[in-house]
Structure 1
Amino acid sequence: MPQPLASKENSLFRSVVKNYESKQYKKGLKAAEQILRKHPNHGDTQAMKALILNSQGQADEAFALAKIALKNDMRSHVCWHVYGLLYRSVKNYEEAIKAYKFALKIEPDSNNILRDLALLQVQMRDYQGYIQSRTLMLKTRSQQRQNWTGLAVAYHLAGDLKEAENILVTYEGTLKSTPPKTDIEHSEASLYKNTIIAELGDVKRALDHLESLYKINLDRTAVMELRAEYLLKLERYEEAEKAYRALIDRNNEYREYYDGLERAMQLDRSSEESRSKLKGLYEEYAAKFERLDAARRIPLDFLEGDEFKAAVDPYLRRMFNKGVPSTFPNIKALYADPSKKATIEELVTGYTSEKKVNGSADASTNGEVSERFDQSVLYFLAQHYNYHLSRDLKKATEYIDKALELNPKSVDYNMTKARIWKHLGNTNKATETMEHARQLDEKDRYINTKSAKYQLRADQNEAALKTMSKFTRNETHGGPLGDLHDMQCMWYITEDGESYLRQRNLGLALKRFNSIYDIFDIWQDDQFDFHSFSLRKGQIRAYVDMIKWEDHLRQHPMFTRAAVSAVRIFILLADDPSLANKKENEENLDPAERKKAAKKARKEQEKLEKEAAEKKAAAAKKPPTGADGEPKKEDPDPKGEKLIQTKQPLEDAMKFLTPLLEFSPKNVEAQILGFEVFIRRNKLLLALKCLLATTSLDPENPTLHEQAIRFRHALDNSAASLPPKVSEVITAQFTLIPASQPLPAFNDAFLKSHSESPPALHAGLKARYLLDPASKAQNEKDLLATLDLPDISFEEAKKGLALLAEWGSEKGVKDEYKEKARGKWTEGGVFQ
């Protein structure tokens, strides 16, 4: 039981609670101190003081005081509740749940404690516990709809759909009158119930229920979409067709509605008869809506031969006459079909030779429209020849230069010119051209970010940050970079990290990838507020979708990209710990590179000293605060030096690798990196698991060959020390290399059978160097010969240069490789 207080102190205690809830922390502390002067061991007051201290950023003092409060009053539900709130604030949800449960044992009727416990249970995906808590909350306040809905959601998330529906039906039975049409909460709950019925598989009942909502539900679009979907599943095709036509009338550019209409009309694109009907269908819509694009674009996907040519010709002319910049991105998906690609190329190149007669009766050839058409054609062809499925960079350059002659101030044309430079391998010219494009329209955020991205690709980190600062709040703590982190600008942070990785500034690179990891942690924590908010506002369908999305959060491509790079850094540190020490690393550089590195280090040191002086001056005036006015903590490791000076890099890599393998198991790069980590940790079974996963995902991957040889090599070296059961499993599962075949012979056979594939040759040469380091000279010779292969790409040639660095080849060998590559890629900056 809480310790009793006199009337005056009891009134003060209530004011402490009120001050905490209204964030008047100074008043709250003052009132708490008044109570503690008379009652120094009053547990509840100490607990509330701890809560206020925690809100002021004094977490250590808060926990220490909360423990004292508990010692003084172990039977106080307030002390245990506060203890749970403190743990919740530091994301230690397991301990917070334990504290809440202790508090509930003392005060089982407390709705506040029960609510906080329920929120943590759903956050931790303890659905059975969540059901129990929600059931208790419903018993205490059965008149509130959100308690009924919350229990239904609990059963739904736990997979018990039938009970979820029963809860909603039971609540509807308690209503004395039908809620008004304007009741948003009722409207959402009705649709939520409908989706549960559909998930149960009873589509007929779901449709009947939906029909009863058709005229009264506020989300008319959702009702119409669900109705069309149900009719289609029930094979009531005529009604489904009408339903999808009604949806198209509401939004005639939404492609999914057209796909639904095709299914409702039972039209198969592979059938010639169906294609004819489809053609008539889309012609009908195109004639009905003059400005409609979807009905003119979609037929290009299924039409073939002359019919395709007859359809794509007016479509392209229409877009070129209007001067639509996105014409190429809109149709490039058609390039997957070589015949369509050839038809488009033939048509558009033909437009360039057509004679334009200014002043003719045809408006399409008149003055300004004619000029717009000409420019659009040139722009399209530049993009066409820059695209990887139709790449001819010489022609792409010719066409974009012609377009720039007609309109040198076009941002789009200059951006395309920059992309062509990028594909030519000249990163510096690409960056300069993109920056020029940015200067043509300094108010456009998109071109601003593109310029910054190109600067990062050219490893111009300071210039990129300066470019980004034009659209950031630079007065916030940390300047432009701090604001980009606050805004969770993941593309910039990732590109910045990858740039530092290329420069072998592993500390800053890892710092950036760690920031991406933290952003996903924030996203996971951010759902906490929605557990109560969504139920309170009745946004149940969106809430359930969010929960399901959060369960697969780390499948996000940005997380995968950052995690892959972070694991690569830890592997580098495991192979060469000296990389964590810049001075040791600089000893391996040649004199010119060492001089350049020293100059860069001096500049960095001067910058750091300047920043330190500015921070000191600012700190003397007032403590740094964030955008929300709260005190901002200083970063103790701004350069990431502590991160890379780890003594166990491979164990640290698991922080990124574990979610990578769990949530992106079909990512080949993740499995390849998993093998690299596990083989170094001598965990052969886990390495084999990754190897077999790569085999099932991409059996022709060249890296698979190299890793299979390394696995067999490691297995041969440690066969005697393996436990019998492990050895038995590996022998049964590892069949990539016949046990009787010598590794050198197996690798030579692979090199011979893949003599025209640069990636395969790279993998084979790496394996040969592993098996016989004395083969280095022959490997260098064979690697040089790969530059003669007709299909070798610029990126593959760069990987060959990286292999020479990996083998520690002499400078003369590298120079010879660069010189030969320069003959093929004259603009390739890396070979200059």
Structure 2
Amino acid sequence: MSDIPAKRALPPKESTLFKELLTLYETRQLKKGLKTADQILKKFPEHGETTCMKGLVLTHMGRREEGIELVRKGVRLDLTSHICWHVYGLIHKGEKNYEEALKCYTQALRFDKENLNILRDAAQLQTQLRIYDGLVETRHTLLKIRPAMRQHWMALAVAYHLNGNLAEAKKILEHYEATLKAQNVPDYDVEHSETMLYHVRLLEDLGEFTEALAMLDVNAKSRAIVDRTSIMEIRARLLSKLESDEAEHAWRVLVEHNPDCYEYYRGYLSNLGLTLDATDANASRALSILEEFSIQIPRATAPRRLALTIASGDHFKELVTPYLFSGLKKGVPSLFSDIKGLYQDTPKQQIIEEVAVAARDKFSSTSLEPSSSTTDIEPTTYLWTLYFLAQHHSYLGRHSQALKMLELALAHTPTLPELHMFKGRVLKRAGDLLGGARCLEDARFLDGQDRFLNTKSAKYRLRAGMVEEASALLGLFTKKDAISPGADLEDMQSLFYLIEEADAHNKNGNFGPALKKYMAVNKVFDEVEDDQYDFHGYSLRKFTINIYLNLLTWEDRLRSHPAYVKAALSASRIFVAVHDDPSIGTAANASGAQLTDAQKKAKKKAKKAAQKIQEDAKKGSNNDDKGLEPTPKDDDPDGSKLLQCTDPLERAAKLLKPLVTLADTNIEVWIATYDVAVRRKKYLQASKALAQAAAIDSEYPELHIRRVEFRQAVSSPPEPPQAVAPILADLMSKLLADEVSSEAFNSQYLQRHSASAPAILAVAKVQVKLQAPREQVEETVLTAMREEVPIDIKTALAIVAFLGTIKSPREEEFRTWCGEKFPLATVFKPAAELAALRELALAAPQEVPDKVEDVP
């Protein structure tokens, strides 16, 4: 007791109560724990440890702010207590503030260096924060304290592995396995099996292939390793690295084990020094091997599909004909998705079209005589051939021909949902978003209980800008007690929904709701990052080391996911727009007050539902066993407060930061990074971003605009700091030569890319920045109407928007030309016509049936 400070020491009765308080918290008996803490504090109100524990209990009872304040008070009362610092760390960890939590644990360990709970928590936080040097030290300490625990040995080996010291990890594993020899490991022990596989993996990573193979064989024969598929895969890989004669047989065994695994065929060919590259000198040998596998395993499709990648000319036609005919006879809807990778080769594309047309001619005559006994072809084969040809034509941009194929198919079988769905896709690609939405509704009504059709129809409504109508559809299958269908889908982390609805709002000019959804995507990725925390302890307890290491690698590249890249770029553009024009946020707030009657009704309903959920959650929080917290209230449902934030550029920079390393080949990332940096007056960072973009594509239209814009930024006051001025001047000269004027640079770019519509638009935008007359800008941008300039719908819409921005009287002229250029498109039509088409898209062909039968 002499080592305990006087202010922390408690009499025996209160000391017993404090131990009871710790037990009550651990067992989540929160009400009893609160009463016990109050008993102690009644006599000793300045006892820091009890104050902290009371605060911790309150946070779990839903009184978070009060609890956190008490914990802070407790820490101030006793700065040398490991319990106070541990509790403060738990509070920070609960708020996902891992850096501060680790600081608290480090402080706690200063006063209790061998506390197992604190050490374990600190190790998990160090792994979460990727502080691997500290992790090795912490795991060493844990092993010294409890050397008899198997997981501490494994945890130290993993710590060394993560820190890049594979040799030390190997030594730790060898020591660990030596201790196991004195024990009897039971047969078919999965934990021991995973450990052995991890040891083999370590040896392979160290380049000790012979030792790895020997260990694998010994443990496979003794049944210490029980994962037979892993044994075969690792053995084949190691034999290939050792250039053993047995490698070919090992890969062949794998192919026979799973004849439809593409990776096994690639491994087999790679072992022989062959690839799937059609230009390879040894391509014919690889082709003969794949054809041999096709004969040996006739039911496997993988070798026949891989052979199509290598073959060319007449040989390709010989191979692709039976492949296509087989898929069409079986009625495989995904046949086109399977082979569209071959369309990168134009001759192959033409051969596929010839074969498909021949198949249509052959099967059309058969379908007219369904009673013929001279053929085994099903009548639906003709239908799937038309479907395939429609996909083929649509992929090549021949939308009219694709629609003709679909009309024939619908006349043949009007009740097949795939036909209506693909017709919707063709119309969407042709620029008729409302027509696409209508076709998806036709498909949905064929089976009202199909969630996929319902979801797809909602997606097409969002693409057409019909947000409220899409929400109504999604509500058919979401929770009925949710605040809204969108809230339920957000809870389920539906990235497709969040991105599509955000894009729809963005397209409609509703930047607040759009930004709200984009930031919800960011929140999903934050949660996925946080979710890995529990696995740092769980995976080591269960000895699932290999999959755990794969998880950490995957988590490190998490934000390279296309959904995050899309959301981060879009959100950063909105933040930049808000910085450039703060009135956007004010306008969004004002528009929120001018809601339609339907919107007001929906908002009122959502508010009532939210209040009910809050009340239910509060009731649950009074339960001693659950300790639930009420659902946090969303005080910015429409994103208007988000738009009015005071630090839009800092928020944009935070979103883009992970992409600089994880998506560094995406030129849009560097353009967005520049846009933020130049507005933050970080000119060096901006110039480096432009240099990175130029390294990817020096002629990219958006980069051309930024080059001129950057010259204007650095040459106008305030001047860049003197310290970076020389470096900046050097980088700037590489982007845009000093001796060339901006006007000349722009003119030269137009000469080089006079047949590129995006480049023409970029030149016109630069002319506006250089304050050229509006007539000159119009003449430039309208050269995109020349016959020799290929243009797509996306670029045409961008030009329409640009003409609107400069208030050009020739905007209608360009719209009319676009209507003639893209006859199927409706996106260029006047608002009145679009309103009528919108009503048509929402018109139901029939009532939704309770159950649809006899649908193929």
TM-score, length basis structure 2: 0.90
The yes-or-no answer on 1:612 pairing with 2:607 is yes
Amino acid aligned to 1:242: H
The residue that corresponds to 2:491 in the other structure is 486
1:557-592 Cα distance to aligned partner (Å, 9 max, x none): 111110000011011112221111227988xxxxxx
Task: Map residues 162-241 of structure 1 onto 2, 5 A cutoff.
Answer: 162-175=167-180, 176-215=182-221, 216=223, 217-236=225-244, 238-241=245-248
Contact 2:617 2:630 in 1 (8 A): no
Structure 1 distance, partners of 2:197, 2:554, is 20
Amino acid aligned to 2:556: D
The residue that corresponds to 2:662 in the other structure is 663
The residue that corresponds to 1:817 in the other structure is 814
The residue that corresponds to 1:589 in the other structure is none
The residue that corresponds to 2:836 in the other structure is none
Structure 2 distance, partners of 1:674, 1:102, is 38
Structure 1 distance, partners of 2:256, 2:413, is 39
Report the alpha carbon displacement of residue 315 of structure 1 after superposing the two structures with TM: 1.0
Structure 2 distance, partners of 1:197, 1:346, is 53
Contact 1:461 1:496 in 2 (8 A): yes
Q: Secondary structure of 1:735's match?
A: helix
> Which deviates the most, 48-57 or 266-275?
266-275
Report the alpha carbon displacement of residue 138 of structure 1 after superposing the two structures with TM: 0.5
Report the alpha carbon displacement of residue 620 of structure 1 after superposing the two structures with TM: 6.9
Distance 1:287 1:621, change over 3 A: closer
Alpha-carbon RMSD: 2.5
> Which deviates the most, 49-58 or 348-357?
348-357
Contact 1:571 1:649 in 2 (8 A): yes
The residue that corresponds to 2:134 in the other structure is 129
Report the alpha carbon displacement of residue 154 of structure 1 after superposing the two structures with TM: 0.6
Contact 2:62 2:629 in 1 (8 A): no
Distance 1:622 1:487, change over 3 A: closer
> Which deviates the most, 13-22 or 325-334?
13-22
Amino acid aligned to 1:258: Y
Structure 2 distance, partners of 1:282, 1:364, is 28
Contact 1:181 1:218 in 2 (8 A): no
Task: Map residues 91-490 of structure 1 onto 2, 5 A cutoff.
Answer: 91-175=96-180, 176-215=182-221, 216=223, 217-236=225-244, 238-267=245-274, 270=278, 274-354=282-362, 355-356=365-366, 358-365=370-377, 369=378, 371-387=379-395, 390-476=396-482, 478-490=483-495
Q: 781, 785, 788: which is aligned to 1:787?
A: 785
Structure 2 distance, partners of 1:307, 1:208, is 44
The residue that corresponds to 1:830 in the other structure is 827
Report the alpha carbon displacement of residue 60 of structure 1 after superposing the two structures with TM: 2.1
Distance 1:534 1:710, change over 3 A: same
Structure 1 distance, partners of 2:430, 2:81, is 72
Q: Report which structure shows greater RCO (CA 8 Å, sep ≥6).
A: 2
Structure 2 distance, partners of 1:694, 1:617, is 51
Contact 2:711 2:732 in 1 (8 A): no
Distance 1:143 1:740, change over 3 A: same
Contact 2:539 2:548 in 1 (8 A): yes
Structure 2 distance, partners of 1:198, 1:135, is 25
The residue that corresponds to 2:647 in the other structure is 648
Q: Secondary structure of 2:518's match?
A: helix
Unmatched 5+ residue regions in structure 2? 830-856
The residue that corresponds to 1:526 in the other structure is 531
Report the alpha carbon displacement of residue 738 of structure 1 after superposing the two structures with TM: 2.5
TM-score, length basis structure 1: 0.93
Structure 2 distance, partners of 1:719, 1:582, is 30
Contact 1:13 1:35 in 2 (8 A): yes
The residue that corresponds to 1:591 in the other structure is none
Report the alpha carbon displacement of residue 693 of structure 1 after superposing the two structures with TM: 0.6
The residue that corresponds to 1:590 in the other structure is none
Structure 1 distance, partners of 2:574, 2:661, is 20
1:576-617 Cα distance to aligned partner (Å, 9 max, x none): 21111227988xxxxxxxxxx997555434433444355557
Report the alpha carbon displacement of residue 406 of structure 1 after superposing the two structures with TM: 1.0
Distance 1:785 1:272, change over 3 A: closer
The residue that corresponds to 2:514 in the other structure is 509
Report the alpha carbon displacement of residue 181 of structure 1 after superposing the two structures with TM: 2.8
Structure 1 distance, partners of 2:632, 2:33, is 24
Structure 1 distance, partners of 2:297, 2:375, is 21
Contact 1:227 1:243 in 2 (8 A): yes
Contact 1:421 1:430 in 2 (8 A): yes
The yes-or-no answer on 1:565 pairing with 2:570 is yes
Amino acid aligned to 2:265: Y
Task: Map residues 760-799 of structure 1 onto 2, 5 A cutoff.
Answer: 760-773=759-772, 775-790=773-788, 791-799=790-798
Task: Map residues 544-559 of structure 1 onto 2, 5 A cutoff.
Answer: 544-559=549-564
Amino acid aligned to 2:266: D
Contact 1:300 1:308 in 2 (8 A): yes
Q: 494, 502, 505: which is aligned to 1:500?
A: 505
Contact 2:86 2:105 in 1 (8 A): yes
1:524-580 Cα distance to aligned partner (Å, 9 max, x none): 111111111000011111111111222222111111110000011011112221111
The yes-or-no answer on 1:30 pairing with 2:1 is no
Task: Map residues 579-728 of structure 1 onto 2, 5 A cutoff.
Answer: 579-582=584-587, 601=596, 603-613=598-608, 615=610, 623=618, 630-718=629-717, 722-723=721-722, 725-728=724-727
Distance 1:378 1:624, change over 3 A: farther
Contact 2:60 2:628 in 1 (8 A): no
> Which deviates the most, 745-754 or 636-645?
745-754
Distance 1:584 1:91, change over 3 A: closer
Contact 1:563 1:657 in 2 (8 A): yes
Report the alpha carbon displacement of residue 429 of structure 1 after superposing the two structures with TM: 0.8
Structure 2 distance, partners of 1:703, 1:622, is 50
Amino acid aligned to 1:785: T
Contact 1:403 1:413 in 2 (8 A): yes
1:737-761 Cα distance to aligned partner (Å, 9 max, x none): 3211222122122222321110111
Contact 1:822 1:831 in 2 (8 A): yes
Amino acid aligned to 2:376: S
Structure 2 distance, partners of 1:628, 1:377, is 60
Unmatched 5+ residue regions in structure 1? 587-596
Count of paired positions: 811
> Which deviates the most, 251-260 or 121-130?
121-130
> Which deviates the most, 398-407 or 735-744?
735-744
Structure 2 distance, partners of 1:358, 1:106, is 87
1:197-254 Cα distance to aligned partner (Å, 9 max, x none): 1111222222222222223211111121111111111222x31111111111221110
Report the alpha carbon displacement of residue 403 of structure 1 after superposing the two structures with TM: 0.7
